[in-house]
Structure 1
Amino acid sequence: MTQTVKSPQTQRKPGIHFRAGQVYRRKDLAGYFPSIDRDLGRFVQEGKLCKAAQGLYYVPTQTPFGQSPPPESALVAKFLEDDRFLLFNPSSYNSLGLGMTQLYNTTVVYNHKRHGKFKLAGMEFDFREKPNFPTSKQVNREFLLVDMLNNLDQLAEDHDKVLQQVAAKLPTFDTARLQKAVKAYGSARTRRLMSAWEATAHD
């Protein structure tokens, strides 16, 4: 759904189209309205906009169950003002076949600009600033294993049991991709673990 919101005639810009799912920063809209804070308050009251965080707004999507926020990727991109990031949930480690079962309700965001936990549109995001991470299309089983080992201390799992399972299941991972992931993304501890397991495998 698209709504056209007209600016006063004295403004240079004639109006702006509010499209469902669109995310805006306050500064994106300031050029359209002379009393931006008052107008934003009015749009929120009228339901044309919803506030996602300080200075961050979105146009809700109407569904049979009520208003729905935009996709996480759209919120994060506008929050960071950058499209270089990786979104994932630690629950995805459960797909590795290591007996992990914990579920997590926080989305992790690897990025180059912000660090800390933030709530956007009522959803929790754990922003972690990192110099290097893959794109979503490059994420594979081997990256998830390396990333899980990097973050094992933060997971609500039996750490010793997980490490035993990793050692037993290493042959099921692609060796070349795993070595590449360890080199590109592995922490010092993860690299030591992998080196020890490789040495044991060759004994």
Structure 2
Amino acid sequence: MKKIDNLHKNLKRGNVYRRADLARFSSAVDRHLAEMVGEGTLQKLSQGLYYFPRQSAFGPVPPDEATLVRSFLKDDEFLITSPNAYNSLGVGTTQLYNKRVVYNHKRHGEFDLGGTRFSFVAKPRFPKKATLEFLLVDLVNNIASLAEDPEAVLQQVQRKAGSMDPVKLRQAVKSYGGVKARKVFAPVLSL
């Protein structure tokens, strides 16, 4: 049995691995990883990050975003979203963005992971799942970075806020809203 076989038998298809996670299965981990990447068994996603792809009839399946981010951060505390999610609110946003935003507690900056660019934003608080209330508050927090007319969108945001559950929206503003969001929602929610 070759030494690389020990490493190979500990891999599961569809998983993303950090180099440090695989070092315990090999005495020459860097050489073995380079060999496995060279033969196509593993895909190198980023510095020290590898993917053992699942196969479909159409070829290798890319890694699941949550699995990829979880391995990169070594943490489960994150929320993956996109400015495209604002379009579902019905407040006049219609642009499509090629941007994935990861709210987390550890990293800040732009990172390319497996050919996908992620914008990591370190925040003290964010929900486990993006709710409509969170998205509305997040839209106001990020209004300056959107391509739409900010004033027109903010008018629609206030109209939308008036039709939402005030208790949930008030909580979202208090938990996730910046100064701008608090000002925008104050007349509607009596903050």
Query: What TM-score range do you get, normalising by the shorter chain?
Result: over 0.9
SS in 2 for 1:19: coil
| Cα separation, 1, equivalents of 2:158 and 2:124 | 28
User: Per-residue displacement from partner, 1:141-173 (whole Å, max 9, x unpaired)?
Assistant: 111100110111111111111012112232221
Q: What CA RMSD, in Å, does the superposition of the two structures yield over aligned residues? A: 1.9
**For 1:97-136, what aligned pairs fall within 5 Å after superposition?**
97-136=90-129
**Equivalenced residues, count:** 190
TM-score (norm 2): 0.92
For structure 2, the residue ranges without an aligned partner over 5 or more in a row are none
SS in 2 for 1:75: helix
User: Per-residue displacement from partner, 1:14-56 (whole Å, max 9, x unpaired)?
Assistant: 8642211111111111122222111111101111110010000
Q: Identify the match of residue 91 of structure 1 among 84, 87, 101.
A: 84
TM-score (norm 1): 0.87
Taking a change above 3 Å as real, the CA distance of residues 6 and 76 of structure 1, as seen in their structure-2 partners, is: farther
In the TM superposition, residue 8 of structure 1 has moved relative to its aligned partner by 6.5
For structure 1, the residue ranges without an aligned partner over 5 or more in a row are none
Task: Name 2:3's counterpart in structure 1.
Answer: 7
Task: Name 2:40's counterpart in structure 1.
Answer: 47
Q: Identify the match of residue 37 of structure 1 among 26, 30, 36.
A: 30
| Cα separation, 1, equivalents of 2:189 and 2:11 | 56
Mean CA deviation greater in 48-57 or 15-24: 15-24
2:16–2:67 Cα contact (<8 Å) kept? yes
SS in 1 for 2:154: helix
